[in-house]
């Protein structure tokens, strides 16, 4: 079983100098009258209102729907490790502990677009996932100075950005693709960047 499947905790780890801080330092907002607004893990876990239960149920349903889509589309095509990491990211994104009132759930049609990209692109690495305010899945693949960022829209449409370094010079291209095929064609010149099979 992957190490990911054992984790239900998280940590912000420093990836840039400014992130290199102690997360257990505490006390910076100690006597603030606004403290109730700063949600701790403990207080969130103890929420027991019917509203909280309903949110938890809705998020459970949303998580289950995305995992079901993954299974239907990719049961025999997605590498088990990649699938495990996708599930981990789904659980991480749609976690009621960090859910804010008014947040949109992940759009299932957008997630289908992402899965179809993963199945057809020959990806070498699992993506980092995010969510737009409208509920569209965001995905990024970062490999050193090279990166691919997608916003997956319903019905195989994409907004995308590629950034690659060639001979020390950065080249960037961005676009909107009306179909998966068009996106794959657009990414063809960047296949050596490290996220797609060359």
Binding of other proteins by 159 (CB under 8 A): yes
For residue 1, state whether it binds other proteins (rule: CB under 8 A): no
Does 49 engage in binding with other proteins (CB under 8 A)? no
Residue 47 binding other proteins, by CB under 8 A: no
Are 98 and 59 in contact by the 8 Å Cβ rule? The answer is no
Kindly state the tokens that stand for 47: 């929420």
At closest approach, how far in Å is the CB of 19 from other proteins?
6
**Which 63-122 residues touch other proteins, going by CB under 8 A?**
85, 88-89, 92-93, 97-98, 100-104
Is there binding between residue 4 and other proteins (CB under 8 A)? yes
| CB 93, CB 120: distance < 8 Å | no
Q: How many CB atoms lie within 10 A of CB 160?
A: 19
Q: Give 183-187's long-range contacts (Cβ < 8 A, gap of 24+).
A: 183/117, 183/158, 184/120, 184/121, 186/160, 187/121, 187/148, 187/160, 187/162
Report the nearest approach of other proteins to the CB of residue 66 (Å): 14
Residue 14's region, left for phi above 0, alpha for psi from -120 to 50, else beta, is: beta
Chain positions contacting other proteins, by CB under 8 A: 2-4, 6-7, 9-13, 15-19, 21-23, 25-30, 32, 34, 37-41, 44, 85, 88-89, 92-93, 97-98, 100-104, 128-135, 138, 140, 142, 147, 149, 151, 159, 161, 163, 172, 174-175
């Amino acid at each position: 079983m992957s190490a990911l499947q054992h984790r239900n905790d998280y940590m912000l780890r420093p990836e840039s100098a400014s992130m290199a801080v102690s997360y257990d330092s505490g006390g910076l907002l100690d006597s603030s009258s606004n403290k109730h607004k700063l949600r701790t893990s403990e207080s969130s876990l103890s929420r027991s209102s019917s509203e909280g239960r309903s949110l938890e149920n809705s998020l459970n349903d949303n998580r289950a729907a995305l995992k079901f889509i993954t299974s239907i589309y990719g049961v025999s095509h997605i590498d088990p490790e990649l699938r495990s990491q996708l599930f981990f990211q789904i659980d991480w994104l749609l976690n009621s502990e960090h859910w804010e009132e008014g947040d949109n759930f992940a759009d299932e049609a957008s997630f289908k677009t992402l899965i179809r990209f993963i199945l057809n692109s020959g990806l070498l690495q699992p993506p980092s996932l995010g969510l737009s305010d409208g509920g569209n899945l965001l995905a990024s693949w970062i490999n050193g100075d090279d990166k691919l960022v997608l916003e997956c829209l319903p019905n195989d449409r994409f907004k995308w950005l590629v950034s690659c370094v060639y001979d020390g010079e950065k080249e960037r291209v961005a676009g909107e693709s009306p179909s998966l095929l068009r996106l794959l064609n657009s990414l063809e010149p960047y296949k050596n960047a490290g996220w797609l099979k060359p």
